[in-house]
Amino acid sequence: MLNQTQSMIASIVLLNLLGQLSPGPDMLLISKTALNYSRWAAFCVALGITTGVAFWLLLTIEGYSALLQQLPWLQNILMLAGGSYLIYCGYQMLRTVIPQNNSITTPIQEKHFFWKGLITNLSNPKIIFYLGSVMSMAMANVHKPTLKYEIMLILLVQVLLTLCLMIWLFSLPIIKRNYLHWSLAIDRIGGCAFICFGCWLYIQIITSLLYH
């Protein structure tokens, strides 16, 4: 039988898992990298994404989500930068020809996968408000000073394990073989999705300026 704290942690992990599995730039990047490149390259992306989540979680725990709500201009700047980066990534996907060997052989390229994962995650500052809502239960029921940091570590492990599971799934030979037949169409859809995410952030900025 779970006690109150354990039940709270389980609820937070479940909510975060459901949010992580929803379609978004992070999942698109992980699936694209696992399909087109090596598992190691995809794992580097996963580490970058997890590092980004750690940054947002730390800001949430320290109360910076409330600060962003009080400073909408700062939030707009972050969303403008994030939206521009996502649109750039989408444009790159639309114009890129998929390599036929499905692997990266140049070491200097692999080291950039971590940064690509990190920047993609950081490009959506809206995540801090989602994490704020997920962590609200912990913030309201913290009786032990270190509990919120323990929950943060649990969530980071959950995020990384989920991404590793996605990497394993998308790097299966049968998945890759089928992907080869549809790679061009899938990349076009993925590129359009990235552009749509970026435009959505732009729309959020315009809405904020019009109604605040």
- The answer to whether 30 and 42 have CB atoms below 8 angstroms apart is yes
Structural domain boundaries in the chain: 4-211
pLDDT at 86: 76
pLDDT at 212: 63
Counting beta carbons within 10 angstroms of the beta carbon of residue 62, is it exposed (0 to 12), middle (13 to 18) or buried (19 or more)?
Answer: exposed
- The answer to whether 57 and 135 have CB atoms below 8 angstroms apart is yes
Q: Which residue has the tokens 């080291």?
A: 111
pLDDT at 108: 43
pLDDT at 51: 94
C-beta atoms surrounding 104 within 10 Å: 18
pLDDT at 199: 87
C-beta atoms surrounding 5 within 10 Å: 16
Tokens of 106: 């140049």
pLDDT at 11: 78
Tokens of 181: 């037949």
Give me the residues of the chain with pLDDT under 50, please: 97-106, 108
Compute and round to an integer the Cα radius of gyration of the chain. Answer: 18
Q: Report DSSP state, residue 124.
A: -
**pTM of the predicted structure, to 2 decimals:** 0.73
What span, in angstroms and rounded, lies between the C-alpha atoms of 40 and 33? 10
pLDDT at 98: 47
Counting beta carbons within 10 angstroms of the beta carbon of residue 127, is it exposed (0 to 12), middle (13 to 18) or buried (19 or more)?
Answer: buried
What span, in angstroms and rounded, lies between the C-alpha atoms of 1 and 133? 26
